[in-house]
Amino acid sequence: MLKLMTTVCIDAPSTLVWTRLAKLEEIQIWSAAVLRAKCEGAVARGVGAERTCDLTGNIRIQERWIAWDEGRSFQYEGYGLPWVKRATNRWSVQAIGQRTLLTSEAEIELKGGIWGRMMEPVIWLMARRIAPNEFAGFKYLVEHGYPYAGKASALPRPVTVC
């Protein structure tokens, strides 16, 4: 099991951060990897919400929300990533004065038995490289009210503590 945790300090109140984070289809405007995101079915937020994301590399994943603590956190399961048997991700917001600490805690179980276990260090390194860009794009969106026009990788690496 591969465990990844990423944090970013956002210069905005937690209520604003949560409002943007809870707009599940907005991921496509701040994540470079997501080309299109659409919530399927009658539930678009909360437990039971389902989202389909078309990613770069002609990959389509499905996500289903399994926990939702309004204003604080949510957790979802993801399916459809190559080499991934099971993945969960928990996002949480914590007010630190007028700032917010945003945290993502992912658990990934790879397919392939021993071969999958051997791939874990590679996947971990890739995720550690990509995550700051994703968080920088979200931070910019929340702090400015609109998405960054360029590539998020051009933004400064976000501060990970408040």
Instruction: Confirm whether 46 is domain-assigned.
Output: yes
Based on the structure, what is the number of domains in the chain? Answer: 1
Distance CA 95, CA 9 (A): 10
Establish if 139 belongs to a structural domain.
Answer: yes
pTM of the model: 0.86
Which tens digit of pLDDT belongs to each residue from 104-142? 999 988 877 666 566 666 666 666 666 566 789 999 999
Q: What is the C-alpha to C-alpha distance for residues 125 and 26, in angstroms, rounded to an integer?
A: 26
Residue 81's pLDDT is what? Answer: 78
How many angstroms separate the CA atoms of 150 and 161, rounded?
A: 25
Write down the H helix ranges in 62-148.
Answer: 114-144
In a domain, 162, yes or no: no
Query: CATH number of the domain that 121 lies in?
Result: 3.30.530.20
159 found inside a domain: no
Query: Among residues 90, 83, 161, which one has the least CA distance to residue 126?
Result: 83
- Up-side HSE of residue 61: CA atoms within 13 Å toward CB? 22
Percent of the chain topping pLDDT 90: 60
Which residue range is the domain that position 48 belongs to?
Answer: 2-154
